[in-house]
Chain A
Amino acid sequence: MTKTAQHSTHDGHGHHHLSFTEKYMFSLDHKTIGLQYLITSWIFLLIGFSFMMVMRWQLAYPGAPVPVIGRLLSASLAPNGVISGEFYNSLGAMHGTIMVFLGIVPLAVGAFGNYVVPLQIGAPDMAFPRLNMMSYWLYLPGGLLMLASFILPGGPAQSGWTSYPPLSIVNPGQTVWLLAMVVIITSSLLGAINFLVTILNMRAPGMTFNRLPIFVWAQLVTSVLLLLAFPPLEAASVLQLMDRLAGTSFYLPQNIVVYGMLHKASGGGQPLLWQHLFWFLAHPEVYVLVLPPMGIVSEIIANNTRKPLHGYTTLVGSMVFLGVMSFIVWAHHMFISGMSATLTNFFLITTMIISVPSVAILTCLIFSLKGGSIRYNVPMLFALAFLPMFGIGGLTGLPLGLTATDIYLHDTYYVIGHFHYVVVTGSIIALMAGVYHWFPKWYGRKMNDTLGLIHFWGTLICMNGIFFPMFILGMAGHNRRYWDPTAHLHNLPTQPLHVVSSIFAWLLFIAQLPFIWNFFYSMWKGEKSEENPWQATTLEWACPSPPPHGNFTKPPRVYRGPYEYSLPGKKTDWLAQDVAEVPA
């Protein structure tokens, strides 16, 4: 289809005419696929967020009918406009699943990775363009199947994004969840293989490993995690599917009673097995959620402090170490699930060890700010916000990694607060930074700064307003996953905090409106931008904006490391990677 890949195509779309479907739907170009991922995953994030906005009404005002939406829902889901417990569980399960597997991972890897990695390493496309297209066309149907469970018989899954058995096996609706997960996992696996081959085999001449931008390193480690951690969940999902469809008992013990009836199954299985297999995926998954955003933040900080990153080798080493360690910490999610004290100690120690490289990365990024003449543009503000916010997220995780404190905090709102500080004020803030940073490259136009500032401050304040009260709620002993918090007397004093949290959640939605408007308006009407508006050094800025088919007008060659800013005695304060001689 696109055999005329390469050189000198300034018009943007190759030598020959492509039909609309070839160009925009079944495109083989990594840039189009990246943008498909970008738009789709933001839509999924918005859907997952809207579920939460409905749930937050029930948490803030338990038993009160949901305004507007309550009347639109059927009586079985929301009798008299009050969402039922079952529907609340479904929304919770789908919120987690959609946000993690259909939102952030495809956004961080599928969108940013796809678009930026080949450009940053100087490749004309991904290694397997067809496989790349297939990844997207598995991801989208998988996501739609997940959403379709709302209208299919049995309804959506109700057992949380973790799907713990035996609950997940006896609940209706779980089958579609499992099938969709298998499709989504396959899509991620294909993507991971593609990224690894591209990064290992398709770097431009001179792009040695110690000249790779940090973002590419982050994607490399992420791809290894996806490649090796997702298959166990796929296998675990197959076992759970067997339990549901073929009547096996992989996760069911003997003589289990469901709804007052003895469950007909041979038994002999272990519910704990699922927890181990699930978290064996889901802990590396956390680093899949966090590493690419860290890479994005590193790029933006180096670019806007106008100086080299502090400790390039430390950053790379820490990311690789994080990746390796993330495979042996999984059971810290299960301290109260039933484990021997020896095993608990092992996972406690590995968990404490894995916090070291995270702190090292954060420290490197903070030291990078020192002595820089910082440009406070919109992407940089988001990147700067990432540092303290991710810091809070990370540090509040320590009490959860220590068994003594975890026994109290486990399964409370504290855990939710911690996780969302890492993933929302951490990852999503960084991904927003990435959108503002690379937007000129994608569309050849800049996003509006004023709207960007409104979006930034609104988002930062609202996110903290949502998640900070959760720490207090959790420490006050409020369990997570409660449909009606007021049913427990000890939750009554902290109930106003739920109201605060909910109001900020709805305000957060309003704060996203300028972002959405800004994105689409700037796409067509934004101020035109040149090839390299940020005076950045990495290769993606050496090609036209937007880059044509085959990306580079001439095959790039790399002469230096990724962050050569503020070299003494030079006229400009930056030196791109593909510039051969040092201009006098």
Chain B
Amino acid sequence: MSTLAPAVSYESDTGVTNAKLGIWLFLASEVMLFATLFTSYLVLRMGALSWPRGWEVLNVPLAMCNTFILITSSVTIVMAYAAVVERDKPKFKKFMLVTIGLSFGFLILKGIEYRAHFMHNEFPSTSIFNAIYFTTTGLHGLHVIGGIIVNSALLYLSDSQWDHPLFVGRVEGAGLYWHFVDIVWIFLFPALYLL
């Protein structure tokens, strides 16, 4: 990634690599993005004449399942990262594959949920609750897809780039991002389903 010759030294006060700092800053902007959506949710809910209870209109057991899936995938991606640090390629591949599999599992369950809504003629346009539900979970779903793409790319590149000095950092960055996606869901789940 870097085009810089190693001979150049810098006055660095952060003590982290460029890539890691970049990922943290990117996540800061993502926090602002989702914070805006949560704020909009609060404002709309407070201004609404009536607001359905999440558990009455949404499938809580399915979402609960999804919560566990995402938390598990956060653990497995850490294991994958640990495997890179330990230089254990088969272990890395195994855990990365499990992470990707769990992400697909999340999307499939989410798809089943969406399908049930559409079957009951519930669309984003039906009510303001549906609007915020579909928009926030949809945007979160896009982030999950982004994570799948990044993680699959790392899995694919692990053969050719295993010894690349920046590979560890890339896996760590992907892990940070994946944790963020997980945390967003941890906030979305109670806000939409349980309150």
Contacts and interface: CB of A to CB of B under 8 A. Distances in A.
A376 to B, nearest CB: 36
A3 B128 contact: no
A247 interface: yes
Given A202-B10, A235-B37, A239-B135, A197 B25 contact: yes
B33 A242 contact: no
Nearest to A274: B40
A124 B3 CA distance: 9
Given A266-B131, A268-B128, A230 B4 contact: no
B161 interface: no
B22 A127 contact: yes
From B5, B9, B130, B139, name the one whose CB has the most chain A CB atoms within 10 angstroms: B5
B121 interface: no
B56 interface: no
A3 B135 contact: no
Contacts of B153: none
A364 to B, nearest CB: 25
B7 A555 contact: yes
B44 A250 contact: yes
B195 interface: no
Given A5-B4, A270-B43, A277-B40, A249 B21 contact: no
Interface residues of A, number: 61
A193 B25 contact: yes
Contacts, number: 157
Interface in B13-42: 13-14, 16-18, 21-22, 25-26, 28-30, 32-37, 40
A286 interface: no
A120 B135 CA distance: 43
Contact of A197 (B5, B18, B44): B18
Interface residues of B, number: 47
Given A125-B3, A250-B131, A200 B44 contact: no
Interface in A231-270: 231-232, 234-236, 238-239, 242, 246-250, 265-270
B154 to A, nearest CB: 17
A249 B8 contact: no
Nearest to B46: A270
Contact of A249 (B11, B43, B131): B131
A83 interface: no
Closest 7 CB pairs of A and B: A247-B125, A268-B128, A248-B131, A235-B36, A231-B33, A231-B32, A232-B36
17 contacts: A123-B10, A125-B4, A193-B22, A197-B22, A205-B10, A207-B11, A227-B29, A232-B36, A246-B123, A248-B130, A248-B131, A248-B134, A249-B131, A265-B125, A273-B44, A280-B36, A558-B11
